[in-house]
Chain A
Amino acid sequence: KAGVTQTPRYLIKTRGQQVTLSCSPISGHRSVSWYQQTPGQGLQFLFEYFSETQRNKGNFPGRFSGRQFSNSRSEMNVSTLELGDSALYLCASSLVLAGEEQFFGPGTRLTVL
């Protein structure tokens, strides 16, 4: 079956703009988690959604938000972009909340100029 898909794969924005990233989990998976990966901080957890509700949240400012739809697809939004938001944003899906196996998508590479 198809894996986790993320769109767009690459994105260039300028400071102050906002951006929305999309993630489609593996069919049947109900949990979606988001991670940010930067060379300096590594992979950091942003939040996890299950049944359209945020269940777990990492230590990121309120500019980072997300939502999940009834079909389990998820979006994350970053408002008032800063240069430091340049990163690879990864989405992972699992069958259940905090599932044993998380399957990652290829990521969206965001560059903020």
Chain B
Amino acid sequence: DAKTTQPPSMDCAEGRAANLPCNHSTISGNEYVYWYRQIHSQGPQYIIHGLKNNETNEMASLIITEDRKSSTLILPHATLRDTAVYYCIVRVLSGSARQLTFGSGTQLTVLP
């Protein structure tokens, strides 16, 4: 699976949008972009995933650049409960290496 690069930490004011960037310049055509988050001492939580098009669900939006070399996760109205480590993962859904490969992630701190 392609390697991802994320900033180690970010702050965001409560109620504002949190924009978390991710670089995946070596992504292959059949690799999806996934986002998970992990609140302290809990298991990771799935947020969203996409292949080429932008995606939105009740938690967040995922913006993938046209060349697919980077993406941004947007939490539209961050709350204190969104404080967590956010992981950007690229992953194929077939073949032998189908597991999630977590990097270091971004520690997002939402400030009151």
- Chain B 35-68 against A: per-residue CB contact (8 Å), 1 yes, 0 no? 0000000111110010000000000000000000
B22 CB to closest chain A CB (Å) equals 16
Pairwise interchain contact B46-A103, C-beta atoms closer than 8 A: yes
Pairwise interchain contact A43-B44, C-beta atoms closer than 8 A: yes
Q: Report the tally of A-B residue pairs with Cβ distances under 8 A.
A: 49
Q: How far is the CA of A48 from the CA of B93 in the complex (A)?
A: 14
The stretch of B4-12, B23-31, B73-81, B97-105 in contact with A is B97-105
- By size class, the interface of chain A is 20 to 34
Pairwise interchain contact A56-B96, C-beta atoms closer than 8 A: yes
Classify the secondary structure of A's interface with B: strand
Chain A contacts of B104 at CB under 8 A?
42
Chain A contacts of B44 at CB under 8 A?
43, 90, 92, 104
Partner of A90 from B43, B93, B96, B99 at Cβ < 8 Å = B43
Q: How far is the CA of A42 from the CA of B42 in the complex (A)?
A: 14
Classify the secondary structure of B's interface with A: loop
Partner of A106 from B42, B46, B101, B102 at Cβ < 8 Å = B42
Task: Decide if A98 is an interface residue (CB 8 Å cutoff).
Answer: yes
B97 CB to closest chain A CB (Å) equals 8
Q: How far is the CA of A98 from the CA of B42 in the complex (A)?
A: 22
Pairwise interchain contact B45-A58, C-beta atoms closer than 8 A: no
A110 CB to closest chain B CB (Å) equals 14
Pairwise interchain contact B99-A56, C-beta atoms closer than 8 A: yes
Chain B contacts of A58 at CB under 8 A?
99
10 tightest CB-CB pairs across the interface, nearest first?
A104-B43, A98-B98, A43-B102, A45-B99, A104-B44, A101-B46, A90-B43, A105-B43, A107-B43, A106-B43
The contact sample of 19 A-B pairs, CB cut-off 8 A, is A33-B99, A35-B100, A42-B102, A42-B104, A43-B102, A44-B102, A45-B99, A48-B99, A56-B96, A56-B97, A90-B44, A92-B43, A92-B44, A97-B98, A100-B49, A100-B93, A102-B100, A103-B46, A104-B43
The interface of chain A, by Cβ under 8 A from chain B, is 4, 33, 35, 42-45, 48, 56, 58, 90, 92, 97-98, 100-107
